[in-house]
Chain A
Amino acid sequence: MTLLEVQGLDVHHGQLHAVRDFSLAVDAGQTVAVIGANGAGKSTLMRAIAGSHSPTRGSITINGADVTRMPAHQRMRAGICLVPEGRRLFKSLTVEENLDTGAYRAAAGPWNVDAVMELFPWMRERANQNSASLSGGQQQAVAIGRALIGNPKILLIDELSLGLAPAVVKQMYALLPDIVASGTAVLVVEQDVSQALAAADTVHCLLEGRDVLSGKPADLSRARIEQAYFGLTSASGQTVGKGH
């Protein structure tokens, strides 16, 4: 059965139609990427799946159970956990306390504070430091750790590489196979196309809230992805994604 299924999702910010008729499926053990330029609606989509923002139409199911109207704080139990854009660590909590918040409503599973500290040994030395004193990459690691400790069925990551040095981005992406191997599917959102293409089993390209191109990375040519990403006119003379 499909782990996460999003069907015909519409999400609005007031009058603004930020996500339009979007569908996506993630199976257990898969890594799926959604790419798109700034403002394409990626964060809005992720927040709708995580329950922070109510969709106006469409459905979201986890293992067949409908969670479309479930409040955000219950979705952790349903198996969804989002690493929000910009990390959003709790600024008055230490590194260890930040990780521990993930355990508050955690499901049973392989991840706990110790397992995360095993993965990132530097966290042990900094356990009692304020999270604001960390570098961007370290904060991203804590944010991912915090989410993993909940043992979600699917981990959503909004802009894994945002604001990180290329070498750190590489390290972050190197983690994904370990996470998937532990039994958690990953849905990652990116502006950085090349990393996402290399890591994902399936990729969706979002343009002005629409899914304008999707498939396996190997089946998609670089040129088509660029067209979809920037909304450029395609060879056949149609404007990708602009048709109504």
Chain B
Amino acid sequence: MDFVNTLVQGVMLGGLYALFAAGLSLMFGVMRMVNLAHGDLAVAAAYLVVVLLGSSFLPLWLVILIALPLFALIGYATQRGLFSRSLKAGPLSTLLVTFGLSIIVQNGLLQAFSADTRTIDFGALNTGAFRLGPISVSYLGLLTLALAVAVIAGVQLFPSRTRTGRMMRAVSDDADTASLVGANSRHLYAIATAIAFGTVALAGIMSGARSSFDPSMGPAQLIFAFEAVVIGGLGSLGGTLAGGAVLGLTQAFAAQIDPSSTLLAGHLVFLAVLAFRPQGLIPQRAV
């Protein structure tokens, strides 16, 4: 039963990684850009929720309902004002710009909140679990997994089922030609980034309820998200879910054998995929 228990914990952890990775995967699929500030944005969203909860009488669900659209809006503005300029100058400049943004966000958070660790109070959800026979399933982990599946399904269906999504693919294929049928590539890219920021904010909030966080955690979050994306296959969202699960399972089983090898095992699986199956488990379909 230990095995099944570990399996369940691993899949739920994988759900969190996949939730982190969805936005990273979307931005790579549409714009071929990697946002190095991705993890820091998640941490920033967690702090925003802590602040809003502490300074107002708003209930948690309302705070989250404010934080997610706000992050989407920030994503839209960041794309139009910052990323779109750097994309014109090439991939290296985009990497540098997002790296700079990562440092700014980290240090801004450190300045504002000190290096103390925090958690988001989800009330009973924080610690609650139900027993399924001998297995303990945490409500939070299950909720995170459900959200990850829903977010990834949504982000997957949007480009194929909506006209805006189809235009996003058209712009991604050939922005010059798409402009001839009226597509403003900067607007459509900004919508992709808005979705990415909104989903990573959700990931940051779920993660902040699961375990404590501090301003310096962003890069580690980014690495897990990045590993989930690469293991699953760049630009493929179904793959991202699988990649998150593989990473989560690896870490959960490694922790059973030797707790100190948890992170190392995840990184080794990532390196093994890069070496032997660089296209990922589920290679890209057009986003």
Contacts and interface: CB of A to CB of B under 8 A. Distances in A.
Contact of A92 (B167, B180, B286): B286
B131 interface: no
Question: Which range holds the interface residue count of chain A?
Answer: 20 to 34
A88 B179 contact: no
Interface string B155-168: 00000000100110
B178 interface: yes
Interface string A66-96: 0000011110110001101000101111000
A150 interface: yes
A101 B170 contact: yes
Contacts of B166: 93, 97, 100-101
A91 B173 contact: yes
A104 interface: yes
A93 B181 contact: no
Interface in A101-147: 101-106, 146-147
Interface string B195-212: 000000000000000000
B190 to A, nearest CB: 14
A103 B183 CA distance: 11
Contact of B178 (A82, A101, A106): A101
A71 B166 CA distance: 21
B133 interface: no
Highest count of chain A CB atoms <10 Å: which of B172, B180, B183, B185 = B180
A88 B169 CA distance: 14
B121 interface: no
A146 B173 contact: no
A231 to B, nearest CB: 30
B173 A102 contact: no
Contact of A73 (B172, B182, B286, B287): B182
B180 A50 contact: yes
Nearest to B164: A104
Contacts of A195: none
A101 B181 contact: yes
A84 B180 contact: yes
A76 B167 CA distance: 15
B2 interface: no
B173 A92 contact: yes
Given A92-B169, A97-B166, A104 B182 contact: yes
Nearest to B163: A104
B86 interface: no
B126 interface: no
Contact of A76 (B170, B181, B286): B181
Contacts of B182: 73-74, 76-77, 104-106, 150
A102 B180 CA distance: 9
A52 B176 contact: yes
Nearest to B177: A88
B174 interface: yes
B24 to A, nearest CB: 20
B174 A72 contact: no
Contacts of B181: 76, 81, 101-102, 104-105, 146-147, 150
Contact of B170 (A74, A90, A147, A150): A90
A70 to B, nearest CB: 11
Contacts of A76: 180-182
Highest count of chain B CB atoms <10 Å: which of A50, A71, A81, A88 = A88
Given A88-B176, A88-B177, A97-B169, 15 more contacts: A52-B179, A73-B182, A74-B182, A76-B181, A81-B181, A88-B174, A90-B173, A92-B286, A93-B166, A93-B169, A93-B173, A101-B167, A104-B183, A105-B181, A105-B183
Q: Which 5 pairs of residues, A with B, have the shortest CB-CB distance?
A: A105-B182, A92-B286, A76-B182, A72-B179, A88-B177
27 contacts: A52-B179, A72-B179, A73-B179, A73-B183, A73-B185, A74-B182, A76-B180, A84-B177, A88-B174, A88-B177, A90-B169, A90-B170, A90-B178, A92-B169, A92-B172, A93-B170, A100-B163, A100-B166, A101-B170, A104-B163, A104-B181, A104-B182, A104-B183, A105-B182, A106-B182, A147-B180, A150-B182
